[in-house]
Amino acid sequence: MLTSVHFILTYTCNFECDHCFLYCSPRTEGTFTIQQVQDVMGEFERLGTVTSVGFEGGEPFLFYPLLCESVRIATAKGFKTAVQTNCYWATTSSDARLWLAPLKKAGLCVLEVSDDAFHHDKDEDNNAKNAAAAAKALGLNINSICIKKPEVKVQTDQKKGDPIYLGGPKLRGRAADKLIKGLPITSHKAFIQCPFEDLEDPTRVHIDPFGNIHLCQGLSMGNFLKTPFSEIVQTYDPSNHPVAGPLIEGGPLQLAKKNKVSHENKYVDACHMCTSICKKLVDRFPQVLTPAKIYGIEDSQE
């Protein structure tokens, strides 16, 4: 049952991180209008199961008036709210309070700050820590998002000492292009399930300014600008979804088999293989593998 919806409020970001699974950058376009926000939140009410709403990007603080009003609307409708940010605006704790006070007044429940090497230095007074201190002073709840760089370990007790990929950022979007070099790879035969998303009965989805409802970033269950959000969710049939169906049945390996996609024999992990297969299927399933820019492909949705 769907209980949480995250707005990709904008695809524009002042950063261009290697780990970004949405391929965001200062040049990436696509931002919600306030009318779109109002309309789709009305659909959440009609659905009757959504209890929390998040706002992220890109970088949502780049469109600050839109962010504040969106939080206010969500709060007025009774939804719990969270905002995810890279904290570029929190140059000092005092300045951060100026940014956060209106959001607190609008009803923001949780501030989620990206505090990792992809976004900031390790200094004790970096922007993320400034934002966290200001949020604490205002009585906001704080979550710290720390995305580790890819980790590899050599097991000395393992045959031939083969290196093991311990994890890191999900290898989707730009990460699948920028972060896989030198990482240990595994036979494609191992990837027979999606280990991260519940594609059969999702409790959370992301939505973007183009109307896409993302089961996973770049994998859409429908477009709420064409069909009402509540209707799409209520009529979602995972077994007949051209991409989610095979993934549920047998992971990236089954997706490749069913669509007769040629592929490499080894990948770092399931996300890496899935992204690679989906990239080859974008032209075949443009309505569900969208927007194409998430796969590093220019498209016409902007």
Q: Quick one: which H or E segment has residue 84?
A: strand 80-85
SS3 content of the chain, % helix, strand, coil (to 5): 35, 20, 45
The pLDDT of residue 300 is: 47
Q: Which amino acid is located at 261 in the chain?
A: V
* Rounded CA separation 293/289 (Å): 10
* Token couple for 19: 């780990």
Domains of the chain: 4-145 (3.20.20.70), 151-201+238-289 (no CATH)
Q: Quick one: which H or E segment has residue 164?
A: strand 163-167
The pLDDT of residue 302 is: 45
CA angle 143, 144, 149 (to 5 degrees): 150
Q: Are strands 141-145 and 110-114 parallel, antiparallel or unpaired?
A: parallel
* Side-chain half-sphere exposure of 172, counting CA atoms within 13 A: 19
Distance of CA 236 to the CA centre of its chain: 20
The pLDDT of residue 191 is: 97
Residue 7 backbone phi and psi in degrees, to 5 = -80, 125
DSSP state of 31: B
pLDDT profile of the chain (302 residues), mean per 10: 98 95 96 98 98 98 98 98 97 97 98 76 78 96 79 60 74 94 94 96 98 98 98 98 98 98 96 97 98 86 47
Which pTM value belongs to this model? 0.92
The Cα diameter of the chain in Å comes to 60
